[in-house]
Amino acid sequence: MNSRYALLAFSILALSACAGTHEPVSSVPTQTVQGNPTSVDFAEVSVVFKNNRCMNCHSGNNPDAHLNLTVYAQAKAAKDNIRKDVDSGDMPKHGQHLSAGDQAIVDTWVLQGAPDTVTPLSPPTTDDPTDIRFAQVTVVFQNNKCLKCHSSDPSGKEPAAKLDLTQYAQAKAAADDIQKDVHSGKMPKKSNPLDAADLAVIDAWVAAGAPN
Ligand code: HEC
Ligand code: HEC
């Protein structure tokens, strides 16, 4: 059932990718983080549902499951109740209250309008691979979910980490730690390590003195 959505999403992405090939590649990154520092899609919120055993009751032929949380359209239609029930602790029924991190993922997904897929920002582009500025590093942060914890939370809660990576001065001051932590895999916490291309962006930025 999900494959239909995946296929649709893929077609849309493929179409927009084709449409984009005729546009000139700009050397200046145009995307910056503004107002929407996080991106939670249905796949990510589904992991939260699974880890918190929501599917025990809300999937397949389970009689409790008038709400099937494995079906995107149903989850989207119930988004406000999902947020209310996990924030209040009513759900998971007979289960443990969601962790603050999982709750933030649910909150963010709902506040974003419960999207099925989120298109990642374009990878940083530059004519000179040594000329990496904060705007490009910001795209790496965003695509690797750093800003989910390292920014003021769009749900209005306190940020999970003191370091706010949307603030240039803070990121610059922490540049060496950022480089160390992404190479060791310590960051992003609870998420996949950076790929080689993203590591190269961080390395070039730090090597250049972390310019703005
Ligand atoms: C042990 C079984 C069980 C588990 C686990 C469970 N639920 Fe439920 N859920 C129910 C039942 C039964 C209802 C029906 C109404 C009621 O009793 O509140 C329900 C109702 C709901 C509703 C309201 C339905 C609607 O139509 O809006 C939401 C939203 C919901 N659950 C979300 C979740 C989420 C999210 C999780 C995991 C964090 C979860 N539930 C875990 C059994 C469960
Ligand atoms: C799930 C939440 C989460 C994510 C995602 C995350 N971090 Fe963190 N990060 C934290 C927390 C919490 C701390 C502070 C406590 C600790 O060190 O465990 C921290 C600490 C750090 C520190 C050390 C701060 C200091 O003052 O020394 C750096 C640097 C850092 N993170 C960078 C990143 C980068 C870069 C990413 C993305 C590649 C990232 N983090 C993703 C939660 C997160």
**Over its length of 212 residues, how does the chain's per-residue pLDDT go in tens digits?**
444 444 333 433 333 333 333 333 333 332 333 333 457 889 889 999 998 999 889 988 776 668 999 999 999 999 999 999 999 999 998 888 998 888 888 988 898 889 888 766 655 555 666 678 898 898 899 888 888 888 765 444 545 688 989 889 999 999 999 999 999 999 998 888 999 989 988 998 998 899 99
Q: Is the C-alpha dihedral spanning 74, 6, 31, 188 positive or negative?
A: positive
Instruction: Find the 85 Cα to ligand 1 centroid distance in Å.
Output: 8
Neighbours of 25 (CB within 10 A): 10
Instruction: Select from 98, 104, 44, 51 the least CA-distant residue to 75.
Output: 44
So what's the pLDDT on residue 121?
Answer: 61
Instruction: Looking at the CA of residue 82, tell me the nearest atom of ligand 1.
Output: 29
So what's the pLDDT on residue 69?
Answer: 93
Mutate to test the pocket of ligand 2, among 153, 189, 190, 194 (most ligand atoms within 8 A of CB): 189
Instruction: Find the 210 Cα to ligand 2 centroid distance in Å.
Output: 18
The pTM of this model reads 0.51
| Cβ contact 156:106 at 8 Å | no
Ramachandran bin of 94, using left for φ above 0, alpha for ψ from -120 to 50, beta for the remaining angles: left
Neighbours of 143 (CB within 10 A): 18
So what's the pLDDT on residue 8?
Answer: 37
Neighbours of 135 (CB within 10 A): 16
So what's the pLDDT on residue 120?
Answer: 63
Ramachandran bin of 163, using left for φ above 0, alpha for ψ from -120 to 50, beta for the remaining angles: beta
Asked whether 175 lines ligand 2 (CB < 6 A), one says no
Q: Give the residue whose CA is nearest to atom 14 of ligand 2.
A: 161
So what's the pLDDT on residue 80?
Answer: 95
Q: Cα separation of 159 and 102, whole Å?
A: 14
Instruction: Find the 180 Cα to ligand 2 centroid distance in Å.
Output: 11
Q: Cα separation of 85 and 97, whole Å?
A: 10
Give the end-to-end CA distance of the chain in Å, rounded to a whole number.
Answer: 45
So what's the pLDDT on residue 153?
Answer: 57
Chain centroid to Cα 96, Å, comes to 24
DSSP state of 54: G
Asked whether 116 lines ligand 1 (CB < 6 A), one says no
DSSP state of 188: S
